[in-house]
Amino acid sequence: MIQPGLSFEQAPPLAVPFRFFLLAPFFLLASGLLMLALGPAALASRWAPETLALTHLVTLGFVAQTMIGAVLQVLPVVAGSPVIHPGGVALTTLLGLNGGTLLLVFGFLAASPPALQAAAALLALGLGAVVLAAGVAMVRGKAAASPTVYGLRLAFLGLAVTVALGVLLALALAQGLALPLQKVVSAHVSWGLFGWVLALVAAVAYQVVPMFQMTPQYPQSLSRWLLPALFLGLSLRTVTELFSGSETLLHLLDGLLGLLVLGFGAATLRLQQQRRRRLRDATLMFWQLGMGALVLAAALWLGGLLVAPLAEDPRLPLLLGVLVLGGFALSVINGMLYKIVPFLVWFHLQARGPGKSPLKSMKDVLTDRMAQGQFYTHAAAVLLLLGAVLAPAWCFYPAALLTTLSAAWLARNLIAAIGVYRRALPALVAGA
């Protein structure tokens, strides 16, 4: 069903989001191949250049790319205002994001200051363009300030802070600037994971979880106050860490953030248990895995605040990274792609010839069996990645192989969806 207020004229061209969606799996594929090439050193330490390269292949190449593509598509729906010149914005962002990501990965692996500087400039250009364009669209939008609209505004604020801190770090590494690097890295990671990824997922979840998964609405108190509380906590944490250094206050703020994350994950799982449609499709399975990983990560984070030996274990940050990135972010994004991509193919074919499309439903674009096969591969990869942190000799290479296979499977499914569109389009154009 097309939501009220969305017209075919408002939607950007299909190529705008699909360029992001189709490129993203290849960065995930590259991360699996890089793991195979580097060996267990890729997960040796959160500070290792290999780990940083691998992390940014995932966070920038896959997570940011798919999320930006989705936002460019959904802004006309939720904000009532499309992005101006979406093709130009998309092209600028694609060039800056993809070129900057590749240069950043090379800069980490080769310890190349010029590559890091060039990466910082390209990423600032590409991500700055979409932040500015989305910000203008949301200011111009006439939609009511729903929790989703408000959450999107906060998420793009979080992205702006994340990019600013990331550019500062890249320049500091390239030019040897005297900065408290560990503290700035901590702030960069916090804003990237909580202020950008979690905020955007939560904002979108308020609308799509009840809609697609047939659940009750999120509690009003949670949808209204979760993200403002999260951003207040993040802001206070950043100021405390960079300028105050009060360990007691920092622990209290970390505990607050952990409880907020735990609350969102647990509330989503509870709603999914109350869904009216009992059938478990691939999207629901991906989301349940993602929320389960998020709850486990929050519990582990809170445990680290309370149990000193756990906090001092160097494997804890790596376990949290696997749970939040691989278990939560990748799972939720995979699940949403299996709803967004079939809908967009069906939607744009309907726009070409209303009532004449050969597709009877969105299931004609991608079957649930195709998506479920990739889900099981992805879930196994996440479990083995956790094992690779704890027992690399046994689990590392199987984890890398399954990560590569899952990415290739996703790419194959998305390419198949484009094939459906291309095969159906000529008949519609001829008929028109």
**What are the pLDDT digits (tens) for 92-116?**
999 999 999 999 999 999 999 999 9
354 found inside a domain? no
CA distances from 108 to 44, 132, 134, 222 (A): 15, 28, 30, 40
pLDDT digits (tens, 9 = 90+) for 221-252: 999 999 999 999 999 999 999 888 788 999 99
Phi, psi of 290 (to 5 degrees): -60, -45
Q: How far apart are CA 207 and CA 319, in angstroms?
A: 30
Supply the range of the domain harboring residue 54: 12-143
| Cα 114 from Cα 175, distance rounded (Å) | 9
What is the number of other CB atoms lying within 10 angstroms of the CB of residue 277?
Answer: 11
What are residue 218's phi and psi, to 5 degrees?
A: -60, 145
Provide the phi-psi class of 216: left if phi over 0, else alpha when psi is between -120 and 50, else beta. Answer: beta
In a domain, 370, yes or no: no
Asked whether residue 411 is assigned to any structural domain, the reply reads no
Report the mean per-residue pLDDT for the chain: 90
Q: Say if 129 falls within a structural domain.
A: yes
C-alpha 374/C-alpha 369 separation (Å) is: 9
Sign of CA dihedral 286, 287, 293, 297: positive
pLDDT (0 to 100) of residue 131 = 94
Whole-number pLDDT of residue 363: 77
Write down the pLDDT at residue 3: 44
Axis crossing angle, helix 282-306 with helix 368-390, rounded to the nearest 10 = 20
Q: Considering the domain boundaries, does residue 100 fall inside one?
A: yes
Q: Which of 339, 419, 329, 326 is nearest to 371 (CA)?
A: 339
Spans in the chain with pLDDT lower than 50: 1-8
As for how many domains the chain has, the answer is: 1
> Is 268 within 8 Å of 245 (Cβ atoms)?
no
Q: How far apart are alpha carbons 23 and 12 in whole angstroms?
A: 18
Token pair listed for 33: 């191949």
pTM beyond cutoff 0.85 = yes
For 393, other C-beta atoms within 10 Å of its C-beta total 8
pLDDT at residue 143 in the model: 57
Residue 210 lies in a domain: no
Distance CA 73, CA 3 (A): 13
Classify residue 50: in a domain, yes or no. Answer: yes
* Residue 99 domain flag: yes
| CA pair distance 103, 120, nearest whole angstrom | 9
